[in-house]
Amino acid sequence: MIPERVTLVDVGPRDGLQNEKQPVSTAHKVALVQRLQAAGLREIEVTSFVSPKWVPQMGDAVSVMAAIERPPGVRHSVLVPNMKGLEAALPTRPDEVVVFASATEAFSQRNINCSIAESLARFEPVVAAAHAAGLKVRGAISCTVGCPYQGAVTPDEVERVVVGMKAIGVDHCGIADTIGVGTPRAVQAVLERALKHYPLHEVSGHFHDTYGQALANILASLELGLHTFDASIAGLGGCPYAKGATGNVATEDVVFMLHGMGIDTGIDLDALVEAGGFISEVLGREPVSRAGRALLTKRRAAAAAAAVEAA
């Protein structure tokens, strides 16, 4: 049942950096995407066409999309919050666009100031326009296991939004544990609801590691046959709902597990760790990835030993 091959979508350049307070230059963003591609990532969430008033970090979306290399076989997605965002995104030729909704009314109101139904209604013409432009539409459902405002979330609540996403034509259903409170059985229960409406290859898991549960949740998802997961290089992103806590699961940790299990990802872990080290250095800190930190530490020790030998 566990798949032999897994596709990882690195959301570090968008979901990750969007939640980092420190401004990152366009050149560094482009260099990060470049390094992820070189490491073997074939799906990258590059940027977001949101208002720079709300998210200054994503204000260079057009420049980033224009500057990155677009090698064949790599799919670049961008987040669009509305029709205006889609219209700004289209000339930059993304391969996919990402739309989103919350599994809870409380989060929807607090995060985007409208009800779940209103958010889906707003996205309906966006999805249609994206399809008309030949783009795939990926939907992200947040707070599918827990919500910072409501608390616990039921699979029924999530399924209603999955059905709503499908009704407006969204091609792919991403199940996000936005605050990282999910545990294996709870995550499986939610994924089973998504799988009632979308095929296995169009459901993905997006897990946060705030409580250290992300890899266990990915393992539980693999056991349902799921083979697409979001992850964020160096664990970029933090957690906006618990200051100082961990957010997105780190791509390095996921790849370490998958490769250890003999599951193919097409990713070169060494190059990936280097990419994580690069962007962490830009941010002036260590990667929020346990595998990344351990492997960088080993690499530095080996380099230091080699330098002593050479001297």
**Residues acting as catalytic residues:** 239
What are 266's two structure tokens?
A: 């097409």
**What mask, x for binding a second copy by CB under 8 A, covers residues 104 to 133?**
------------------------------
CB-nearer residue toward a second copy: 118 or 286? 286
- Of 16-24, 88-96, 165-173, 245-253, the window that binds a second copy (rule: CB under 8 A) is 245-253
**Who's near 178: CB < 8 A, 6+ residues apart?**
107, 142, 143, 144, 146, 147, 148, 208, 241
Q: Which residue's CB is nearer to a second copy, number 158 or number 186?
A: 186
Candidates 176, 195, 218, 236: give the one binding a second copy (CB under 8 A).
218
122 burial class (0-12, 13-18, 19+ CB within 10 angstroms)?
A: middle
| Contact call for residue 21 and a second copy (CB under 8 A) | no
Q: Is 212 in the site for a second copy (CB under 8 A)?
A: yes
Q: Is 8 in the site for a second copy (CB under 8 A)?
A: no
Least distance in angstroms from the C-beta of 1 to a second copy = 12
Q: Whole-number minimum distance, CB 211 to a second copy, in Å?
A: 4
215 lies in the binding site for a second copy (CB under 8 A)? yes
Neighbours of 207 (CB within 10 A): 27
Q: Is 211 in the site for a second copy (CB under 8 A)?
A: yes
CB of 276 to a second copy, least distance (A): 13
181 near a second copy, rule: CB under 8 A = yes
Q: Are 228 and 254 in contact (CB under 8 A)?
A: no
Q: Is 175 in the site for a second copy (CB under 8 A)?
A: no
Q: Which residues in 268-307 contact a second copy (CB under 8 A)?
A: 286, 289-291, 293-295, 297-298, 301
Contact positions toward a second copy, by CB under 8 A?
A: 180-186, 209-213, 215-216, 218-220, 239, 242-246, 250, 253, 256-257, 259-262, 286, 289-291, 293-295, 297-298, 301
